[in-house]
């Protein structure tokens, strides 16, 4: 799944440099040009759990104040299948 993210970085050039350096080391993340204290990112993960894990990693990076998830793109995803699966799980549980 591919996600558009915007992170807000603390107002300190040294911290921003360090955050961008750490992001560069993560192969699943690609960043765009910083706009003020905001940094646009694309996250290309193989699974939802990997994406969630990466987003949590970003949230916990020292100097990252906030992560906005602006857009999530999922290939071959069918919400109805997902709901059916869960309904069938619930039925089994009863």
Partner 1 sequence: MPLSNVPGETPPSSRREFIRSSAMAAAVAVAAGSAGVALPVLGNNPSCAGGGSDGSEVVWNKAPCRFCGTGCHVQVGVQEGKVVAIAGDINAEVNKGLLCVKGYHVGGILYGEDRLTVPLLREGDGYVEISWERAIGIVADRIAAAPKRFAFYGSGQWTIPEGYAAQKFMKGGLSNNHIDPNARLCMSSAVTGFLATYGVDEPAGCYDDLDKCDVLIMWGNNPAEMHPVLFSRVIDRRSKGEVVTLIDIGTRRTRTTNQCQHYLEMKPHGDLAIVNGIAHLLIKNGTYSRKFVESFCNFKTQDEQNPNLHGKSIGFEEFCRLVEPYTPDYVEELSGVPAEKIRLLGDLFGNPELRITSLWCMGMNQHTCGTAINCMVHGVHLLSGHFGRPGDAPTSLTGQPSACGTVREVGTLAHALPGGRVVDNAEHRAHAEEFWRVPEGRINPQPGYHTVKMWEQFCTSSDQGGDIDTIWVQVTNPGQTLPNLNKLFNPKAGLQDKFLIVSDVYPTATTRLADLILPSAMWVEKNGVFGNSERRTQQWFKMVDPPGQARDDAWQTIAVAHRLMEMDNEGMKDRDGKFLFNVTGEDGQPVPVWNWENYYDVNVDRHLFEEYRQFTRMKHKDLAPYDEYVKARGLRWPVVEQDDGTWKETAFRFSEGQDPYVAAGKGIQFYHSSTKDDRAQIWFHPWVPPAEVPDEEFPLMLCTGRVLEHWHSGSMTRRIPQLVRAMPGAYLELNSEDAKQYGIRTGERVRVESRRGAVEMGAWVEGRGEPPRGTVFIPFFDETVSVNDLTLDAVDPFSKQPDYKKSAVRISKVSS
Site residues for partner 1 per CB under 8 A: 1-6, 8-11, 30, 32-33, 35-42, 44, 48, 51-52, 59, 65-66, 68-75, 77-80, 82-83, 86-87, 89-90, 93
C-beta closer to partner 1: residue 24 or 68: 68
Name the CA radius of gyration of the chain, rounded.
17
Report CA torsion sign: 91, 1, 9, 35.
Answer: negative
Residue 56 near residue 9, CB atoms below 8 Å: no
CB nearer to partner 1: give 40 or 57.
40
CB of 25 to partner 1, least distance (A): 19
Cα(49)–Cα(1) distance, integer angstroms: 10
């Amino acid at each position: 799944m591919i996600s558009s993210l915007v992170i807000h970085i603390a107002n300190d050039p040294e911290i921003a440099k360090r955050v961008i350096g750490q992001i560069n080391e993560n192969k699943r993340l690609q960043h765009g040009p910083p706009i003020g204290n905001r940094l646009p990112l694309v996250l290309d993960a193989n699974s939802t759990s990997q994406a969630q894990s990466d987003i949590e990693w970003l949230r916990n990076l020292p100097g990252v104040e906030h992560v906005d998830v602006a857009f999530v793109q999922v290939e071959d995803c069918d919400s109805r299948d997902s709901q059916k699966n869960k309904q069938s799980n619930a039925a089994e549980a009863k």
